[in-house]
Amino acid sequence: MAWPALIAITVPVTALLLWLHAPAALMLGPLVAGIAFASFGGEARTHVSIFAVAQGIVGCLIAKMVPLSIVGDILGHWVLFSSGVVSVLAASCLLGWLMTRLQMLPGTTALWGISPGAASVMTFMAEAYGADIRLVALMQYLRIFLVAGIAALVARLFGVSSSYGAAAIVWFPEVQAVPLAETMALAIVGPAVARVVRIPAGAFLVPMVAGIALTHFGWMTIELPTWLLAASYALVGWNVGLRFTRPLLIHCARALPRIVACTLLLIAICAGIAAMFVFTAGIDPLTAYLATSPGGSDSIAIIAASTNCDVSFVMAMQTVRMIAVLLLAPVLTRFVAERVHVPPGGRGKS
């Protein structure tokens, strides 16, 4: 009965967000419903392969919207992209170091939890450094939730409404069978390849990169009917929301206000970086904000796709930052963790 109950909660919440013309309503509705369902003791498990395919479909969506010229944009504006990525990484490292020095969370938990991406990598590495992996997991996925929610709110404040207006949805449009089969093949094979070669976040990245190249050369056409996108968005939202279980929230209740405050501070710092892009490079505010938001990339991709921002710029910045986080954040965090003085007993779990 778990899945029918979860869907029964999801439908009215999503319908309300669609009625309000909220950006990314098809993802935010399942996300909110998942949190409500899990926090009241509900359990609904999704096989990792199904969620990987959902990420692959989101990757195909971005590949359909982003041209291959994105590579030239990155190389042509490497100073802008480098400064944005380095600024976000530096802000997270400094904030994590400060939280650890002030003993706001036990041991080195803050260092691992504040990293702007690579949630699973950080969670796995945290335990070896005396961090509470439950707090780290909460920080990582709470960040994704807050980033997605605030990004959708910012889009709404800028006068952007969802491209899926409640009255405009055609759930079952006419589709081309061959392009749909090609799209599904890419969404299934891409994550499988990423899992075999162990590419972090590859379930999203491999179909996106491959889809951009294949469509550019005319070797495939990406076909994404509304019902398929809605199902994929729901799986992405549920995957985050269902992690907020009651035992996790009870365990982290005492530290939750500090975690929320620190996460909001990181988001505010990234918003400041976005403001610099607006004033120094002439980037429009919504594009700059979404581009510098500290993850997760699949959630930001869904929000960007439902607005009229520069999706190419947003996904170029998010992709570069994701790769940088996966390569550098574990090294930087470990480097800082080994040099931060943790008082006796501070490494223990709460």
The CA-CA-CA angle for residues 198, 204, 208, to 5°, reads: 115
Q: CA–CA separation, 11 vs 321, rounded Å?
A: 34
> Any idea which residue has 């990181």 for tokens?
266
User: Is the peptide bond preceding residue 296 cis, with omega within 30 degrees of 0?
Assistant: yes
The separation between CA 36 and the C-alpha centre of its own chain, rounded to angstroms, equals: 20
Q: What's the average model confidence in pLDDT over 17-26?
A: 78
pLDDT tens sequence across 149-175: 888 788 777 765 555 444 467 788 888
Domain residue ranges in the chain: 29-39+54-339
pLDDT tens sequence across 68-120: 777 777 787 788 888 888 888 888 888 888 888 887 877 778 888 888 866 66
pLDDT tens sequence across 178-194: 999 999 999 999 999 98
Q: What are phi and psi of 123, to 5 degrees?
A: -65, -40
Give the end-to-end CA distance of the chain in Å, rounded to a whole number.
34
Q: CA–CA separation, 272 vs 279, rounded Å?
A: 11
The separation between CA 159 and the C-alpha centre of its own chain, rounded to angstroms, equals: 23
Q: Which pTM was predicted? A: 0.75
